[in-house]
Amino acid sequence: MRSFSLGKWLLPVYAVLALVFLLVPIAYTFVFSFNASVKSNIVWVGFTFDNWINVCSDMSVCNAFGTSILVGVVATIIATALGTLMALALTRYRFRARSSVSLLLFLPMATPEIVLGAGLAAQFLSAGIPKGLGTIIAAHALFCLSFVVVTVKARISSLDPALEEAGRDLYGSSAQVFWRITFPLLLPGIIAAALLSFALSFDDFIITRFNNGAVTTFPIYIYTAAARGVPAEANVIASAVFLLAIVLVIVGQVTQSARRKRLARLG
């Protein structure tokens, strides 16, 4: 195979450099989670495990983290439930206004977050709804919804319709075919959508900033602390979340490739 290459080594070196560039701030966050600084974590003072051992010594960091988890879980449940139903409707049924519904789902993804945030804030303001946990969750579920629909839709489109036909040929009722065949096959897509939705919600700052009221999520905490220097405990939490997510992704990929190998052996 001859492919376009800027010299034999230039492309791989460039790719590795780009990846290193992407990882620099992550390494920085990880290293500074071991910094022996007391309050602001800007200059390197010395190495310590204390921040990792006493993460919650400053309760506000852990409270903010807990709030982000709560918001993420509730928003994900709402977005995943509504989005999965919409994805099923869009892929399995012909109805008029299908393209309008698709456009309506595309628009939140094409709207800058600040416009979504300001719009929701204007809405809550004019409706006299006080900003707080409820408004954050409502906002997060909104921007996650489109991503859930897209992710689940992709999974449905990749399903082999023959599997369902087989179910019907074996006299399965619609409900049986759905719950015993379609749903289990869709589940990986739904789980992927839920994970994506949680990740989007957990890291959202812009929309939250407009709708949080007095509630502090983890990104809001970092933003507020940014001017005076984020305490090392925030770096600990971020690093721990990062390590957990990476482990999950690697486990997912390993099991997936193991399953693929097993299938290849069977076939």
Q: Which of residues 25-44 bind other proteins (CB under 8 A)?
A: 25-26, 28-29, 32, 42
Tell me which of 74, 190, 222, 236 binds other proteins, using CB under 8 A: 222
Is the CB of 180 or the CB of 228 nearer to other proteins? 228
Angle at 127 between CA 201 and CA 100, to 5 degrees: 60
Print the binding letters for residues 243-262 with other proteins: x by CB under 8 A, - otherwise: --xx--xx--x---x-----
Supply the Cα-derived Rg of the chain in whole angstroms: 23
Which phi and psi (to 5°) does residue 195 adopt?
A: -65, -45
Kindly state the smallest distance separating residue 156's Cβ from other proteins, in Å. Answer: 8
Kindly state the smallest distance separating residue 130's Cβ from other proteins, in Å. Answer: 15
What number of other Cβ atoms are within 10 A of residue 207's Cβ? 24
Tell me which of 36, 56, 62, 118 binds other proteins, using CB under 8 A: 118
- Per the CB < 8 A criterion, the answer to whether 106 and 146 are in contact is yes
Distance CA(69)–CA(67), nearest Å, equals 5
169 touching other proteins, by CB under 8 A: no
190 touching other proteins, by CB under 8 A: no
96 touching other proteins, by CB under 8 A: yes
Would you give the distance in Å from CA 209 to the centre of its chain?
18
Kindly state the smallest distance separating residue 57's Cβ from other proteins, in Å. Answer: 19
Distance CA(148)–CA(198), nearest Å, equals 10
Kindly state the smallest distance separating residue 171's Cβ from other proteins, in Å. Answer: 18
